[in-house]
Amino acid sequence: MPKAKTPTAISASAEAEAFYAESLKLLKESGVPFLLGGTYAVCAYTGLSRLTKDIDVFCKAGDFPRILAFFQDRGHATEIEDERWIGKVLHGELFFDVIFNSAAAINPVTDAWFGERHSAMILGSDVQLIPPTELLFSKAFVQMRHKYDGPDVAHLILRRRGDIDWKRLLAHMEQYWEVLLMHVLNFRFIYPTEREAIPDWLLDELLTRLHERAKLPVPQTRICRGRLYSREDYLIDVTDWGFADVVGEEAKHG
């Protein structure tokens, strides 16, 4: 694979940039496989330029403690924010995230994420990026009141359409195909002259599923899948309004 375009992500300060640059060098020195995501990856793939507060390092769940231990042995503070998906390496008020799943635990990092090689020079290090397919998959569910990654999804499709494996993306989102359909329709609305970026077979498949689903009865269990987007924004649905969470039983009252 050709190297991605040199990113134009902007660190908040010279100190932050130095910390990120040194962290990437140490990550490569560790020998633990990792992928870079977040703003640096988005900027590398699209040419966007924007400020970033950290770097997002992705790895497999089994390598997560290895990365934290490697940095801890070199004097860095570490913390496990949520053992289901994320930890941090700290340097004063600066940090970078070590991520092996999503907050909703629906897209763990696997060997498949390392199957393609997309690299870029980031702060002096040649690092491997999350493939566009998996980057799109991970961003499709970031839909919170204070953070929405829909524009990143649209820009990735626009700028990297040839690098997206649509069949693999559909396989990733098989259970959540409606989310993929929403992003497909959103892209078509945003870029009416670029609709050919979405394969016809994919749109046909998703619309067929929508039509077939409409024929079926309403589910018996009242669930709120909004928690896949944001656990906080949809908390009231499962605590007060009688909806079941994505996993678990429906709340009972009386």
Check whether residue 125 and residue 4 sit in a common domain.
yes
Angle at CA of residue 152, ends 148 and 154, nearest 5°: 110
Of 123, 101, 121, 119, the closest CA to residue 110 belongs to: 101
For residue 208, being part of any structural domain is answered with yes
Check whether residue 34 and residue 149 sit in a common domain.
no
* Reported pTM: 0.90
Mean predicted confidence (pLDDT) in 178-207: 98
Check whether residue 118 and residue 151 sit in a common domain.
no
For residue 34, being part of any structural domain is answered with yes
Mean pLDDT value across the chain:
92
Q: Which residues in 77-93 are b (16+ Cβ under 10 Å) and which e?
A: ebeeeeeebbbbbebee
Q: pLDDT grade, residue 6 (50/70/90)?
A: low
Which range marks the domain in which residue 48 is found?
Answer: 1-130
Residues 183-197 have pLDDT tens digits of 999 999 999 999 999
Check whether residue 25 and residue 95 sit in a common domain.
yes
State both tokens at 58.
């992705």
Q: Which amino acid is at 175?
A: Q
Last residue of a domain, one of 130, 155, 176: 130
State both tokens at 110.
């696997």
Last residue of a domain, one of 82, 103, 130: 130
Last residue of a domain, one of 98, 130, 162: 130
Q: Cβ atoms within 10 A of the Cβ of 3, count?
A: 13
Q: pLDDT grade, residue 253 (50/70/90)?
A: very low
For residue 136, being part of any structural domain is answered with no
For residue 135, being part of any structural domain is answered with no
* Look-up of token digits 């690098």: 163
Check whether residue 2 and residue 82 sit in a common domain.
yes
Residues in the chain: 254
* Look-up of token digits 């046909």: 204
Check whether residue 168 and residue 53 sit in a common domain.
no
The count of domains in the chain is 3
